[in-house]
Amino acid sequence: MKDELQLLVVPGFGGSAIAINVPNAIHQGIELGLNGTAWQGEKGDRLTGRMALTVSDYSFDNNATYGNNQLPGAPPYYVRAEARYATPSGFYIGPNVEWVPQGYYVDSVNNPAFMTSSYALLGAKAGYTGFKGVEIFLDARNLTNQMVSNVGVTNTATATSQLYNPGEGATIFAGIQTRF
């Protein structure tokens, strides 16, 4: 990738960000999605599963300052998966997981002291799709109430860098979704 703009947190400015030009960067990876039915009952109820895996390799390309370091702010692996039991009448329920099995850098110098931690967030979703084109649902996220930070990125992280922002704790969303 040529002339990528990267947003970096500026030290001493209350977490403000600036855009810098990265002359050459490598963005490569693969995304794999699986979707299928594991079991179907005689009365039409079924157990299904979905999974999405993203493998990312983002790095500077012979940068004068950062060499071939990894670009900060992106996990090398990201997995989202769910299982769902559904009835023919339209009711469904099932667990899900969002998993980052390996931490990632928050600065361009790739200082391991400031890498994020790996995490897994567990959730569950239940709903009803028996109305024509309308779904009602409850979506419970982060049921184990893990405090996973959202991060900003910078050139060189220090102990006083304002890069980590609190993530959401355990939450429950209720909603209505319609399809046209």
> What residues does each domain of the chain span?
2-178
Query: Alpha-carbon distance 47 to 91, whole Å?
Result: 12
A 10 A CB-CB count for 8 gives 20
pLDDT digits (tens, 9 = 90+) for 7-61: 666 665 555 666 767 778 899 999 999 999 999 999 999 999 999 999 999 999 9
For the stretch 126-168, pLDDT in tens is 999 988 889 999 999 999 999 887 888 888 888 888 788 888 8
Q: List the end-to-end C-alpha distance of the chain, in Å, as a whole number.
A: 38
pTM: 0.84
